[in-house]
A and B are shown apart, each in its own frame.
Chain A
């Protein structure tokens, strides 16, 4: 039985997919190769942002922790990965702390191609998780809004620190020339396909990990927390510890996502981590896609980034004067308005939250159904 809501969601997603493919195809003069190249970059970004939407889903969709400073964890992850994988700074114009890339590249198992990136991603996740741990101490026991404003604050403060302290991570110029994972194995012009595979692999791994976590007893405590903290407390669970675990896990995933972003971009600067781009967009993705559902989070990433790119393509068409220069702000407005509309009209998002998440119950039900077929209408009383 397919519900009408599912048909609407599926057709909306299909429509976005159609325009994302068709517009560049038309604009490049029906050049198939160019379109494939565009779609590769597009899907790589969707995969990376999907990681963030999943992370935010762990924090807000499941645990009910209100992180409104994703940019902070994104930034910490990206910069940590950059510093770990890059060689040390070599001139007085480019200054940053560390640069462990050469140290991590001894000739063991051809480790030049993978070890530093594994370490970089792990370090990114650790640094971001540590930040979340520190931030959770003063805020998690208070009402949700306190964490929201504290995370907004840390994102702003970290961005200012990067700009003001030029020698820590090279100030406003940012880090450039972050090495590419397995970059030596591919022709530079074909590397984008490899990056797509890497991003998708990380997304799938994160997705599986989060699904397994949520379908475990631990995950069900998190979901219960979001609904009613007092009930969870009354059933003897340590509310603070579980909230902290959900928050830190989400932050670790954000750090990992930040590291993949840094590898994919190759260069990062404080401008990559503005509130709109690095926080608000992920919230829009999660709310539109459906908070509390991992498929929804990924679908939301695809949907919002698709809309974003469609408007980018529209920019090339003839439009009256003011619209021409300010079309990007119109897009920003539409995404903000869309968030409010979704909250008002369809708060469950494109793909709603499941009522029951349990591997055990699912398996049990399936086994039962196999043994005795479900009673049909005629068999009922």
Chain B
């Protein structure tokens, strides 16, 4: 046993040495340079995939920002994040199809509440009309209620009991699977789409083909991220959130209302998830399993940027999105999760605190 322990000691010592060397060679600036080089190469060599990657990354960013905010304020990895995003997407789906005329109604839902205005309209080249925006707003309201309600019912009780972070994460996992089961009970395992039919691809400079849907997605995602940035860095609420995230004890002493900060964290996270969910569902088929599969890229993005740092999560999500899409040119599309996983392991080996993380 003693020799085994000594061997472990030696291995650990060596690992720490390697890591120190790696951290020295590839510090934060090295990492930025690496990402820059990757982006330039991708932009030159795989233009089309690069642009698609940016769009996918901007949607991922909304989820990753919420994840990293919750991590910063509540100090646990919310493993229910992907499934909550799916809940938002499915609620919007319900507003679009469960509420409208008989022929568009999803057969597995046995009731309809009447017409949602504009649900079948189309705006120009887009595949949707203003009904879609109403449905997205409805999804956002449902997700706010869900997130805040869940915090009151589950996480607040655990906070009062001063449970360890792992108990929070385990509870989140329970929530994730229960939520996925609810989606399966109501909508079943079949893939769903918001709008049938195809929309044309337009040509843009540098031979890039894009649907108007995709441009809309990118603009909305970046716009939402900008709004969050303004809230966090230009308002008093944002200031207290950042202060709480940096040092909870100090924030408490300086009279910051913890409950208010936590509630607003869930509200912002919920709205971002609803937006991300509906944007994602515009691009791809909705499946209940998608929620859990999203966890890996979301966490990879949040950790790459430095957990607790929203601006890091944004950059990280763009990197993960671009890497995943560009990888399709070289590997099978089934390996997209593997790309996120490799990024995750690399960043944990080289610089666990991420791009924006502080030294502690």
Interface residues of A (CB under 8 A from B): 60, 64, 66, 68, 137-139, 142-146, 148-150, 152-154, 156-157, 160-161, 163-164, 218, 238, 240-241, 244-245, 275-276, 280, 283-284, 287, 322, 325-326, 329-330, 332-333, 335-340, 343-344, 347
Contacts and interface: CB of A to CB of B under 8 A. Distances in A.
A217 B194 CA distance: 60
A156 B296 contact: yes
B108 interface: yes
A297 to B, nearest CB: 15
A250 to B, nearest CB: 15
Interface string B101-133: 000000010100000000000000000000000
A153 B337 contact: yes
B25 interface: no
Nearest to B182: A333
A165 to B, nearest CB: 9
B17 to A, nearest CB: 13
A339 B174 contact: yes
Contacts of B154: 340, 344
Given A142-B348, A153-B340, A329-B185, A343 B77 contact: no
A218 B1 CA distance: 10
Interface of B: 1, 5, 8-9, 12, 15, 76-77, 79, 108, 110, 154, 157-158, 163, 165-167, 169-171, 173-182, 184-185, 188, 292-293, 295-296, 299-300, 303, 332, 334-335, 337-338, 340-341, 344-345, 348-349, 352
A343 B181 contact: no
Contact of A152 (B163, B171, B175, B295): B295
B341 A154 contact: yes
Contacts of B184: 326, 329, 332
Given A149-B299, A149-B344, A287 B170 contact: yes
| Residue from A145, A150, A333 with most neighbouring chain B CB atoms (10 Å) | A145
A275 B299 CA distance: 17
B171 A157 contact: no
Contacts of B165: 143-145
Nearest to B348: A138
A68 B173 contact: yes
Contacts of B293: 156
A146 B110 CA distance: 43
Contact of B335 (A144, A149, A164, A340): A164
Contacts of B295: 149, 152
A160 B338 CA distance: 8
B181 A330 contact: yes
A138 B296 CA distance: 16
Contacts of A137: 15, 349
Contacts of B110: 322
Given A149-B77, A149-B299, A336-B180, 5 more contacts: A144-B165, A144-B169, A276-B177, A332-B181, A339-B174
A147 to B, nearest CB: 10
B185 A336 contact: no
A160 B335 CA distance: 7
Nearest to B350: A138
A238 B16 CA distance: 14
20 contacts: A64-B166, A139-B348, A142-B352, A146-B352, A148-B169, A149-B303, A154-B341, A156-B293, A156-B341, A163-B334, A164-B332, A238-B12, A280-B173, A284-B174, A330-B181, A333-B178, A340-B154, A340-B171, A340-B175, A343-B158
Contact of A322 (B5, B108, B181): B108
Nearest to A331: B181
A326 B177 contact: no
A274 to B, nearest CB: 9
Contacts of B174: 284, 336-340, 343
B138 to A, nearest CB: 23
A103 B173 CA distance: 44
Contacts of B12: 238, 240-241
B338 A240 contact: no
Interface-central residue, A148, A149, A347, by most chain B CB under 10 Å: A149
Given A276-B177, A343-B171, A156 B337 contact: yes
A123 to B, nearest CB: 21
Contact of B337 (A160, A287, A332): A160
A322 B106 CA distance: 14
A247 B112 CA distance: 52
B135 to A, nearest CB: 23
Contacts of B335: 160, 164
A335 B349 CA distance: 36
Given A66-B169, A149-B299, A280 B177 contact: yes
B60 to A, nearest CB: 15
Contacts of A284: 174
A149 B171 contact: no
A277 B178 CA distance: 13
Contacts of B332: 164
Contacts of A329: 181, 184-185
A283 B173 contact: yes
B228 to A, nearest CB: 22
B287 to A, nearest CB: 13
Contacts of B334: 160, 163-164
Nearest to A284: B174
Contact of B348 (A150, A238, A338): A150
Nearest to B9: A238
A332 B349 contact: no
